[in-house]
Amino acid sequence: MRKLLTVTLLVLGCATFCPRPALALMFSAPYPKFAYTDKSGKKHSVEVVDKYYPKKIVHPFAKVDPSIDPKLQRAATIAQERAHAHSLAKCWHFVKEALFAAGAVKSRPQTTLAKQAGQELVNNYGFKKLPVSDPYQAPVGSVLVYDAKRSAGHVEIRTDDGFVSDFRSKTPSRRPLLGVYAKS
C-alpha cells in the first residue's frame, strides 16, 4: 500500500512540475493570423481557417400529388420493398414488375432498354410527361427516365424519401434526365 501511495505521489509531482509542451503552445500562441497588404498599401490580417464544416444539403421529402393515380404510389412502395442495397443492373425490369404488381399498367411493358421506357409508357399505358426537370421535385410514384450514350439508360420511381429501381437511393441518378412520367 505504501508503494502505491509513493508511486502515485511521485507521478502527480512530476505532472505538476514538468512542462507540458502542447499546453504551453496553446496558451502562448493565439489563433494564427494571415497578414497581407491590399492595393492601397493598408495592412490587414485575418484568422486562418483550419476547420471547415460545410452546411449539409437537405433535400425535401417528395410531395404526394392528389392528381396522380394512387396505384403509382403503391408501385413505389412495392419497388421499395423489393429493392436491394446495390444495383443489379436490372432497373427497368424491377420498375416494370412494380408497376404491374400495383395495377398501374395492365400488362408488362415490352421494351428492353430503360431509356425507351418513357415513350412506351406514354404510347401504350396512358402516362403523361410532367413538366418537371428536377428529380427532387417529382411527385411520389412518378417514373423518372434517364438517358445514357452507350448503355441502356436508367429508370427509377420517386419515393417519399428518395428513389428506387432495383436498388434504393437517397439521391437521383447522375445521368441526364429524359423525363418524369405519371398517370392521372
Say whether pLDDT at 79 is over 50: yes
Asked whether residue 2 is assigned to any structural domain, the reply reads no
Please report the pLDDT score of residue 151 as a whole number. Answer: 86
**Sequence-ordered strand ranges (E) for 6-95:** 33-37, 43-47
Question: What is the residue-averaged pLDDT of the chain?
Answer: 84
Asked whether residue 115 is assigned to any structural domain, the reply reads yes
Q: How many residues does the chain have?
A: 184
Q: Which of these ranges, 22-36, 85-99, 105-119, has the smallest mean pLDDT? A: 22-36
Please report the pLDDT score of residue 150 as a whole number. Answer: 85
Residue 172 has which C-alpha cell? 437521383
Look at residue 36 and give its three-state secondary structure.
strand
Say whether pLDDT at 87 is over 80: yes
Asked whether residue 120 is assigned to any structural domain, the reply reads yes
Residue 147 has which C-alpha cell? 438517358
Among candidate residues 140, 137, 141, the one with its CA nearest the CA of residue 177: 137
Among candidate residues 31, 13, 173, 14, the one with its CA nearest the CA of residue 89: 173
Question: Which CATH number goes with the domain that contains 100?
Answer: 3.90.1720.10
Asked whether residue 30 is assigned to any structural domain, the reply reads no
Asked whether residue 175 is assigned to any structural domain, the reply reads yes
Asked whether residue 5 is assigned to any structural domain, the reply reads no
Asked whether residue 174 is assigned to any structural domain, the reply reads yes
The range of the structural domain enclosing residue 123 comes to: 70-182
**Residues β-bridged to residue 35:** 45
Say whether pLDDT at 60 is over 80: no
Cβ within 8 Å of residue 25, ≥6 positions away: none
Say whether pLDDT at 22 is over 50: no
Count of structural domains within the chain: 1
Please give the model's pTM, rounded to 2 decimal places.
Answer: 0.67
Largest CA distance in the chain: 92
**CA dist list (Å): 106 to 27, 32, 71, 100:** 75, 69, 12, 7
Asked whether residue 88 is assigned to any structural domain, the reply reads yes
Please report the pLDDT score of residue 144 as a whole number. Answer: 95
